[in-house]
Amino acid sequence: MATFKLYLTIEVEQVGNGLALQTPVPMQVTYRQGRWQAMCDSLAIMTGPVQRLEDAILAAGQEIAREMQAAVIDRPVIAGRITPDDVAAHFG
């Protein structure tokens, strides 16, 4: 069987601190010896070899989403909001 790589970008939603962000994440899927395996270099994620392309993409996407959401949860929460009145009071 031929070995080849498919490069793609998925969008992962990160929710936290009152915001929801769509973050593009590059990943690659490799076909080798009749099996698919997905990986993401930026987050050091690699799935095990699976039979179907869809399973590899879904497994990697779920793991990437978990890792990225954990990063959002680890960020500090801003206790208040800055309003135009606050800016005017400090810099006006």
State how far the alpha carbon of 86 is from the alpha carbons of 44, 76, 82, 90, in Å.
Answer: 42, 21, 6, 6
pLDDT for position 27: 95
pLDDT, one tens digit for every residue, the chain (92 residues): 568 899 999 998 888 767 778 889 999 999 999 999 999 988 889 999 999 999 999 999 999 999 888 877 655 555 456 667 766 777 76
* pTM score of the predicted model: 0.70
3-state secondary structure at position 17: coil
**Structural domain boundaries of the chain?**
4-91
